[in-house]
A and B are shown apart, each in its own frame.
Chain A
């Protein structure tokens, strides 16, 4: 491996990292606020990918611009799902088991409905930048990946600023850190949970739009994705936004090198191997907190 090759692989890894981080940030936000591991997260991303794909096919709408549709649509969809499925659960003693089963079945339903409408054909949008590259000297940047990662990181920064500087954002952070304390100061925890679930799904909506031109997808594809996303947020520390960001970049860069040395079939192994190692060595992840025994 020459230095140029090493740099090239690094670039490819970095330009994927942002998109993975965007995908993972929604999942980790929902977990952080509600302690729900949303197994349906990736299936909702696929919904957004289809929206973006159809908008491109039918109306020639740029997939990147389609985030202005997919984010609000998925936000409302997520908030509605929360109201319908999860709002009553927190008082239940078997909350953990229930949410896993519920989100698992939700993923199956979403997959089934998508399969009914869109068949199981592999899809991918092909805007001009999807196959184009920016080259400088001996290195190149795939244009689509580059744009997608820039926008993803931008969205994550927006989310961070929202959580840090707005009243609602502070209330969401308070709920993440201590739901009882949040209630005691007058935060309507159920409302914050709904907003957080909406935001998480909305971020998934943006990620789906990116996915529509970066990767091929079909209704059942979400299983692969959710497995990868779970490994990312476990590595970073469940519920930690910074963790999702750093975890994503670490793993996509590692996967890029694995792919270079051992071939692309081995790159997904990186994620699951990392999952094993982190669970053995530091189960709370890089930026996670040890969970108190409930």
Chain B
């Protein structure tokens, strides 16, 4: 197992637990898609893994090492990168500067520049926009930049929170394709998707979260066709809504 979470409890400030004893395993080389209704704790889970939020209880083990309680920069050094939901760019910095910030924790500037060269090969539009401010990019370009920035550290595990949010279907499709491409290169991926159908189609393994716990999991195509899920999480209304989105 690449990453193992055991009985994790976490919440914000002095608020209630959002994650209520969640256990989850992530296997190397897979695309894991996490779905579940709003408030299930999907984003919170990712924040706990990358060290933005400290778990109150439970353990997180990455490649046999405990990572709970580490700061984000320490988690990054272990090989886990995170692309948050709002794409979290530095709006007044250029595309290039944003990518360079991705290598902030590396002392070796040459390595950072070499990595950036590779990343702009993967997302050619970023090369074209290289000296433009991040805030001038379209939604899809911003997502590519945020993903590219997370790749500068050559992570073993990359976590993406709702990468297709607010994107036109064609653009979203490109994003999912680039996720698959990264996976082909050997990267393990955790994908949180509101658009469960799309997410599961891209993934190899699916997890269903509800009310802060891990309800069940299975091969992505099975989850997608599981009648329980159809009813619980992809209910008629929801499904229509999502197809409207897609």
Interface set of A (CB-CB < 8 Å, partner B): 91-93, 167, 170-171, 173-174, 177-178, 180-188
Is B125 an interface position by the 8 A CB rule?
Answer: no
- Considering the complex, give the chain A residue whose CB is closest to the CB of B85: A180
What separation, in Å, do the CA atoms of A170 and B97 have in the docked complex? 9
- Considering the complex, give the chain A residue whose CB is closest to the CB of B50: A184
Quick one: which of A171, A181, A188 contacts B88, CB cutoff 8 A?
Answer: A181
- Considering the complex, give the chain A residue whose CB is closest to the CB of B93: A177
What separation, in Å, do the CA atoms of A92 and B73 have in the docked complex? 22
Is B71 an interface position by the 8 A CB rule?
Answer: yes
Q: Are A185 and B93 CB-contacts (below 8 A) given A91-B13, A180-B88?
A: no
Query: Is B90's CB under 8 angstroms from A93's CB?
Result: no
What separation, in Å, do the CA atoms of A170 and B13 have in the docked complex? 29
Query: Is B93's CB under 8 angstroms from A186's CB?
Result: no
When distances are taken between beta carbons in the complex, the residues of chain B under 8 Å from A91 are 13
Interface set of B (CB-CB < 8 Å, partner A): 13, 50, 52, 71-73, 76-77, 82-84, 86, 88-93, 97, 100-102, 104-105, 149-150
Q: Are A92 and B13 CB-contacts (below 8 A) given A181-B88, A184-B82, A185-B149?
A: yes
What separation, in Å, do the CA atoms of A183 and B88 have in the docked complex? 10
When distances are taken between beta carbons in the complex, the residues of chain A under 8 Å from B84 are 180-181, 184
Query: Is A178's CB under 8 angstroms from B104's CB?
Result: no
Q: Are A183 and B72 CB-contacts (below 8 A) given A91-B13, A171-B104?
A: yes
Query: Is A177's CB under 8 angstroms from B91's CB?
Result: yes
Query: Is A184's CB under 8 angstroms from B90's CB?
Result: no
Q: Main SS of chain A's interface residues?
A: helix
Query: Is B104's CB under 8 angstroms from A93's CB?
Result: no
Query: Is B50's CB under 8 angstroms from A181's CB?
Result: no
What separation, in Å, do the CA atoms of A182 and B92 have in the docked complex? 13
Query: Is A186's CB under 8 angstroms from B104's CB?
Result: yes
When distances are taken between beta carbons in the complex, the residues of chain B under 8 Å from A167 are 104
What separation, in Å, do the CA atoms of A176 and B64 have in the docked complex? 36
What separation, in Å, do the CA atoms of A24 and B84 have in the docked complex? 34
Quick one: which of B71, B83, B101, B149 contacts A188, CB cutoff 8 A?
Answer: B71
- Considering the complex, give the chain A residue whose CB is closest to the CB of B101: A185
- Considering the complex, give the chain A residue whose CB is closest to the CB of B92: A177
Q: List 22 A-B contacts (CB under 8 A).
A: A93-B13, A170-B101, A171-B104, A173-B93, A174-B90, A174-B104, A177-B92, A178-B88, A178-B90, A178-B91, A180-B52, A180-B84, A180-B88, A181-B90, A183-B52, A184-B52, A184-B88, A184-B150, A185-B101, A185-B104, A186-B72, A186-B77
Minimal beta-carbon separation of B41 from chain A (angstroms): 18
Minimal beta-carbon separation of A294 from chain B (angstroms): 13
What separation, in Å, do the CA atoms of A178 and B89 have in the docked complex? 7
- Considering the complex, give the chain A residue whose CB is closest to the CB of B102: A185
What separation, in Å, do the CA atoms of A289 and B91 have in the docked complex? 11
Quick one: which of A177, A180, A187 contacts B104, CB cutoff 8 A?
Answer: A187
What separation, in Å, do the CA atoms of A142 and B89 have in the docked complex? 47
Q: Are A185 and B105 CB-contacts (below 8 A) given A177-B92, A180-B88?
A: yes
When distances are taken between beta carbons in the complex, the residues of chain A under 8 Å from B100 are 170
**Given A93-B13, A184-B83; 16 other pairs, CB 8 A cutoff:** A167-B104, A173-B93, A174-B101, A177-B90, A177-B93, A180-B52, A180-B86, A180-B88, A183-B52, A184-B50, A184-B52, A184-B82, A184-B84, A184-B150, A185-B105, A186-B105
